[in-house]
Amino acid sequence: MERLVDRFLNYLLLERGLAENTLVSYKLDLADFSAFCQKEGLAPLSPEARQAVLLYLLKLKREGKAPATISRRLAALRSFYRFALSEGVMSLDPTSNLESPRIVDRLPQVLSIAEVESLLNQPRVTDPAGLRDKAMLELLYATGIRVSELISLELDQVNLQHGFIRCLGKGSKERIIPLGSVAAHYVSEYLIRARAKLTRGKLTSVLFVNRRGRRLTRQGFWKIIKRYAVAARIKKEIHPHTLRHSFATHMLENGADLRSVQELLGHADISTTQIYTHLTGARLKEIYDQAHPRALKTGIGE
């Protein structure tokens, strides 16, 4: 099982070109399934593998795992067993005809423009780390890139003279994203005034570095944005993609078309981008209720 999982992950990396975060998720999900089979004395690569899969899914449900988590685990198992089938290790796919649990779509949390302004104004630009944080937050909101894409940026992927960045997204797909003048200014200031103080003479091609001169981690950025959200007294739940969701919503609210936002976000399917139309629809309803003189009237007989 372990050797087959390694071959499967190599296949996903070399043949499918999946992102590192996706590979890590697959590896963890399959390791959890394998550990369950070993504990229960089940054979995941035998003709009885379907029973192992069903018992594993039942275990996840009993543990109260979210439908999205169970769906992701099942998706990992599906991909793995299809690979095992193509390699001749399995004669039947034990995940065939298994339905994923129904997932209730939850709209992502979005900040108002005023809340974004407050968040972005928190870093102290007189401090090297503060100037770095200001540049990162401004760049995130200006481009809508993922946090994983932000911390992966290299120096040669940023063109401040012409105002754009080259971003490598999921599946190593490259896209060119415009960079606004405010974000470009603070990235430039960071490069001139702060980066060398953080790298301490170390040679690295990484754009944003931590206090030890190394590449920032997702966890490191998570702590940074949480700290500034608290300082800005933002009551909403903040997560690493909050600025990405806010970018998309504010673009659509201000007249950007859905296809353009899809391209900027790097979504392969426009249906993924369409969730933001629900957010803007909710916002329009809120504006209508506040602005129209009869929006909140009860109607006949009033």
Structural domains of the chain, with CATH: 2-86 (1.10.150.130), 113-288 (1.10.443.10)
Q: Provide the pLDDT for residue 130.
A: 96
Residue 208 clears pLDDT 80, i.e. is over it:
yes
For residues 168 and 170, what is the distance between their CA atoms, to the nearest angstrom? Answer: 7
Q: Provide the pLDDT for residue 37.
A: 92
For residues 239 and 246, what is the distance between their CA atoms, to the nearest angstrom? Answer: 12
For residues 212 and 249, what is the distance between their CA atoms, to the nearest angstrom? Answer: 35
Per DSSP, the three-state class of 61 is helix
pTM for this entry: 0.64
Which residue matches tokens 């990484």? Answer: 206
Instruction: Return the closest-CA partner of residue 225 out of 248, 242, 207.
Output: 242
Q: Provide the pLDDT for residue 269.
A: 77
pLDDT tens digits, 78-136: 999 999 999 999 888 999 888 776 655 566 788 999 999 999 999 999 999 999 999 99
Cβ burial of 7 (10 Å; 0-12, 13-18, 19+) is middle
Q: Which tokens belong to 95?
A: 């995940």
Give yes or no: 276 in active site. yes
Cα angle 226, 22, 262; round to 5: 75
**Structural contact between residues 190 and 131, judged by C-beta atoms closer than 8 angstroms:** yes
Q: Provide the pLDDT for residue 108.
A: 72
Q: Provide the pLDDT for residue 67.
A: 81
For residues 57 and 238, what is the distance between their CA atoms, to the nearest angstrom? Answer: 30
Pairing of strands 164-168, 158-159: antiparallel
* b/e code 95-129 from CB counts within 10 Å (16+ = b): beeeeeeeeeeeebebbeeebbebbbebbebeebb
Give yes or no: 132 in active site. no
pLDDT band at 168 (very low <50, low <70, confident <90, very high): confident
Q: Which tokens belong to 118?
A: 């407050």
Residue 166 clears pLDDT 70, i.e. is over it:
yes
Catalytic residue among 170, 175, 211, 283: 170
Catalytic residue among 73, 244, 245, 250: 244
Residue 154 C-alpha from the chain's centroid: 19
Residue 197 clears pLDDT 50, i.e. is over it:
yes
Instruction: Return the closest-CA partner of residue 154 out of 136, 140, 166.
Output: 166
**What is the percentage of the chain residues whose pLDDT exceeds 90?**
51
Give the number of other Cβ atoms within 10 Å of residue 275's Cβ.
16
Phi-psi region of 234 (alpha: psi -120 to 50; beta: other; left: phi over 0): beta
**Structural contact between residues 240 and 222, judged by C-beta atoms closer than 8 angstroms:** yes
Give yes or no: 146 in active site. yes
For residues 171 and 12, what is the distance between their CA atoms, to the nearest angstrom? Answer: 10
Q: Provide the pLDDT for residue 295.
A: 59
Catalytic residue among 132, 146, 195, 250: 146
Q: Provide the pLDDT for residue 143.
A: 93
Mean pLDDT, range 139-143, rounded to an integer: 94
Per DSSP, the three-state class of 94 is coil
Give yes or no: 211 in active site. no
Choose the weakest-confidence range: 170-174, 197-201, 236-240, 276-280: 276-280
